[in-house]
Chain A
Amino acid sequence: MADKVLVQELRRVVGEANVIDSDVHLQLYQYDAYLEERRPDAVVFVHSTEEVSRVLKLCHAHGVPSVPRGGGTNLSGGTIPFKGGVVLEMIRMNRLLEVDQGSLRARVQPGMFNLELGNALAPLGYQYLPDPASQKAATLGGNVAENSGGPHCFKYGVTTNHVEGLTVVLSDGEVVELGGQAPDTPGYDLTGVFVGSEGTFGVCTEVVVRIVRQAEGVKTLLAIYDSIEKGSETVSAIVAAGMVPATLEMMDQLVIHAVEKSLACGLPLDCATVLIIEVDGLRDDLEEQTGAIVRLCQEHGAREVRVAKDDAERALLWAGRRGAFGAVARITPSYLVCDGTVPRTALPLVLKKVAEVGEKYDLKIPNVFHAGDGNLHPLILFDWRNPEQKERVMKAGMEILELCVQLGGTISGEHGVGLEKMDAMRLVLTEDDMRSQLKLKRAFDPADLANPGKIFPAFREVSCAL
């Protein structure tokens, strides 16, 4: 692992103050938003593509693995240095390098927070569409690595649909440009392949994203239900009616209670579920669309539908949704977030089954999810000090993923496989599928130094079998 010599060499490259290797400091880098921990051997603060390249060249020469770290909000253990080595702290590479309104592109450094980019574009009348709920603390580099989603994916797609180009440093220090400002770069779509590779292909040091004009108008609705089935049936009904809302988000009673306790957004405490529905676009038909959605909600058993009157009311609804994970964290010592995805019409069934899993394992499972995408986030509550309970949680989590796959879905919609779901990969992929993916890994990172030990079950066993 990172020996004294490497640490000294790293200090020569980035400066004394930019390398951390004291135990106390390293502890701050041993975890992310998942449940496992592993301490790195050193943390290096990087400031430029060139610096990242020099650092990775050194690591490569010493055979030491590395993991880039953004906001550390990863929910699947993607940021944990599983095999030790060096953590690259990207947070100081946080500048907006260029906004080209004429070409609808922005060039940013990976350490910039998602929300910061949004805030920088808003005064110009532009926006970057992917908006993970953690956007206050999640960086764009992390979004690229995980192919992050967010509430607006149903209409606008996920990170990969909005990334046009990347500067990447490979694990041997080589700098490559993938894609760029212009579309349809000849050759393989390596930008598309890199997005969602969870740090296992290299370190991205610059991102070219697509920006768009802000919508002329937005309407946000809150539909309140006494039954969770009715709520999820409404989601399918809206889609079946040929409408494409920007968001179709759902929260159940346990989540609503948690949100109200910490954020007081005015959500009713006595309902089973709420739907947050947003339509955007040209003003001309927003009233009509809103009216049609209100009618559909009522036809499907909503007891009340509120339309946000102004930006303040709209912001309050979103504060509740975006703050949901944090709010739940305040009512439980720990929780495991599941991230399974099913075809939208299977939602009512999968929700019922998730509740059954909760009963079977005697666990509380509040639910907050992207209903339009069929992407659910059951939060399995527990106390990390109770190992027996943790074991039940892991079993329940796996059972929920199995359910999603049985219903035609998959094990992760937006949080990544990381360490968490390696064993669930076989639910979806055959050995041949995984071998073909490992070909890509070898092409990008033949020495297996980029965030090693992630994604693939029994990684060694599969790769040796080739």
Chain B
Amino acid sequence: MPCDLESLRRRLESLVGEAHVQAGEAATVPYCVDGLRPGLRVLPGTQDEVAAVVAACAQAEAALVPWGGGTAMAMGNPPRRLDVVISLARLDRVVEFDADNLCITVEAGMPLARLQALVAERGEQLPLDPPDADRVTLGGLVAANQSGPSRLLHGTARDWVLGLRAVLPDGTRIHCGGRVIKNVTGYDMNKLFIRSCGTLGVITEVTVKLLPLPTARASVLGAFVGLAEATAVLAEVQASFLLPEALELLDPAAADLLLPALGAEPRGAFALVAGCSGSQATVDRQVRDLERMVAARGGRVLALREADSVRAWAAITNVLGSATPDARQVVCQIAVPIARTAGMLASARARAGEHGLAAAVTAHAASGVVRTVLQARSGQAEPVAALAAATEALREEATAAGGSLVVLQAPLAFKGLVDAWGKPGSSFTLMRRIKAEFDPQDLCCPGRFLGGI
């Protein structure tokens, strides 16, 4: 049902001020979701204003999408409707930083990089490292469950979020969790909002646990001619006592994108990069052992210390992002049981080849997560069909292994052929009931989530 945007606009202006409600093509085009342009973009300045805005949308039956840094807006299926984009850009303040208790509360629009800089002043960090750290906001990170290579040692948002505040689709403000590290007071509502992708309301505030910064950091990169040698080292590391923070496996296409940034020459090799952090003694020991393991399998060793290591990981985290998004390209995240990770990386390359596509593939190699960029070659006939066929083949393999494939970014034509999430499982009835309880009017990001939620 189309809503009366003009009267909603006046209502929103009265709530947040004229300057913070934008309409018209020029202002709203940058906030299209899968080609669907919102009628209004509103920028509330406080959490109470978010609640008032959401309530007004509910009353006007306007479909809304919360917008943080916009880094995950390409994820999911095209929305069924979109009337209002709620920008969290003005909610970027620190609510409370309790450095002594390793805990910080910020508004949802705070960019991750700014939070990291702030807590680093007190020798602390939030050990989550999704791509685009300078753009991704805390609210967005939580809603889209963004993660990076260091999930190997540190896990994901669900392991670091202590509390949230959110506005439900009817405008009710609630809080979940708190700021203590153990909390079983009622249900764990934090988990409900993490990776809910905006379908249950708008996250307005996030409290996270922090970790002391390590005294030392280093990385060891091994370059291998064949995947078998790289995976042999991987298996050896996994069976050892070593505790690397991250283990990233890159296929030659991805490695070639990365290596120039590390001052090394691209040579068409597979790369296995291990990141280590901790005390000097444990980092030295891990570097020593890793260098030995890489050399024993005939790999070329590149050791990176301190700032070089930190820079390397920024490059690794963003290596697939550096390919410009275009209409001939699809980015996917595949999740499989850990032991299947390297095999899935190989499959992604093989399926791409079979369908005449170019591919760059990376993997959080000991975490079960593979990221692929599949790209149609210039002049390739029916590029979208080829991309779809390769993606479906990969999805089938991932699903058969008990995992999943999620489309992170794709042209609209592709999304018409391939569902972004795949087929829901036996728990989908529960998910639909949850959505109906929280958003009976179906106004929060309708259609973007699993199974049409």
Instruction: List chain A positions with a Cβ less than 8 A from chain B.
Output: 100, 102-105, 146-147, 149, 153-154, 157-158, 160-161, 170, 174-178, 180-193, 195-197, 213, 215-216, 236, 239-240, 242-244, 281-282, 284-285, 288-289, 341-345, 370, 373-375, 408-417, 421, 425, 428-430, 432-437, 439-444, 446, 455-456
Contacts and interface: CB of A to CB of B under 8 A. Distances in A.
B266 interface: no
A196 B243 contact: no
Given A181-B402, A192-B188, A243 B212 contact: yes
Contacts, number: 256
Interface in B386-435: 398, 401-404, 406, 421-422, 424-431, 433-434
A182 B341 CA distance: 10
B100 A242 contact: no
B437 interface: yes
B387 to A, nearest CB: 20
A246 B367 CA distance: 23
Contacts of A102: 238, 338-339
A412 B238 CA distance: 36
23 contacts: A105-B337, A176-B430, A183-B367, A184-B404, A187-B428, A188-B434, A189-B158, A190-B427, A193-B188, A196-B188, A239-B102, A242-B123, A243-B212, A281-B278, A282-B286, A285-B278, A408-B180, A410-B178, A413-B180, A428-B178, A432-B174, A443-B433, A455-B187
Interface residues of B, number: 88
Among the interface residues A160, A186, A409, A437, which one has the most CB atoms of the partner chain B within 10 A?
A186
Interface stretch (B25-33, B190-198, B255-263, B315-323): B190-198
A190 B201 CA distance: 17
Contacts of A147: 184, 188
A440 B437 contact: yes
A342 B180 contact: yes
B402 A189 contact: no
A238 to B, nearest CB: 11
B256 to A, nearest CB: 27
Contacts of A189: 145, 158, 191-192, 194-195
Closest 6 CB pairs of A and B: A192-B191, A102-B339, A182-B403, A242-B212, A413-B182, A216-B241
B447 interface: no
B427 A176 contact: yes
B103 interface: yes
A356 to B, nearest CB: 22
Given A177-B427, A409-B180, A428 B194 contact: no
A429 B185 contact: yes
A186 B434 contact: no
B213 interface: yes
B438 A190 contact: no
Interface of B: 98, 100-103, 123, 145, 155-156, 158-159, 168, 172-176, 178-192, 194-196, 211-213, 215, 238-243, 278-282, 284-286, 333, 335-340, 367-369, 398, 401-404, 406, 421-422, 424-431, 433-434, 436-438, 449-451, 453
Q: Pick from A216, A413, A440 the residue with the most CB of B within 10 Å.
A: A440
A219 to B, nearest CB: 14
Contacts of A240: 100
Given A182-B337, A282-B241, A374 B180 contact: yes
A218 to B, nearest CB: 12
A184 B181 contact: no
Contacts of B286: 282
B285 A284 contact: yes
Nearest to A197: B187
Contact of A341 (B102, B182, B189, B239): B182
A343 B98 contact: yes
Contacts of A105: 337-338
B173 A432 contact: yes
B437 A187 contact: no
A428 B183 CA distance: 11
B450 A187 contact: yes
A414 B438 contact: no
A73 to B, nearest CB: 15
A432 B102 CA distance: 29
Contact of A188 (B175, B195, B406): B195
B176 A433 contact: yes
B19 to A, nearest CB: 30
B421 to A, nearest CB: 4
A4 to B, nearest CB: 33
Contact of A284 (B98, B238, B284, B433): B284
B339 A411 contact: no
Contacts of B368: 103, 182-183
A186 B285 contact: no
Of B158, B175, B241, B369, the most chain A CB neighbours within 10 A belong to B241
Contacts of B428: 187
The listed residue with most B CB atoms (<10 A of its CB), out of A146, A160, A415, A416, is A160
A282 B194 contact: no
A455 to B, nearest CB: 6
Contacts of B176: 433
Nearest to B199: A188
A440 B450 contact: no
Most buried by A among B211, B335, B369: B335
A7 to B, nearest CB: 30
A439 B180 contact: no
Contact of A182 (B159, B173, B284, B335): B335
A428 B159 CA distance: 22
Given A100-B337, A428-B185, 12 more contacts: A100-B339, A176-B426, A183-B335, A186-B404, A187-B425, A187-B450, A282-B278, A341-B183, A343-B101, A432-B174, A437-B187, A440-B192
A188 B230 CA distance: 35
Contacts of B282: 281-282, 284-285
A236 B430 CA distance: 43
Contacts of B123: 242
Contacts of A178: 427
A24 to B, nearest CB: 34
A102 B239 CA distance: 8
B186 A434 contact: yes
A242 B213 contact: yes
Most-contacted residue by chain A among B196, B280, B282, B431 (CB, 10 A): B282
A410 B241 contact: no
A184 B180 contact: no
Nearest to B213: A242
Contacts of B337: 100, 103, 105, 181-182
A398 B453 CA distance: 42
Contact of B191 (A185, A193, A284, A441): A193
B402 A345 contact: no
Contacts of B100: 236, 239-240, 344-345
Given A186-B404, A188-B192, A177 B421 contact: no
Contact of A408 (B173, B179, B402, B436): B179
Nearest to B76: A186
B212 A282 contact: no
A281 B281 CA distance: 12
A196 B184 contact: yes
Task: Specify which of A103, A188, A195, A421 lies most central, judged by the most chain B CB atoms within 10 Å of its CB.
Answer: A188
Contact of B430 (A184, A416, A444): A444
Given A176-B427, A444-B430, A412 B168 contact: no
A374 B183 CA distance: 11
A176 B178 CA distance: 30
A186 to B, nearest CB: 4
Given A102-B338, A240-B100, A153 B182 contact: yes
B241 A213 contact: yes
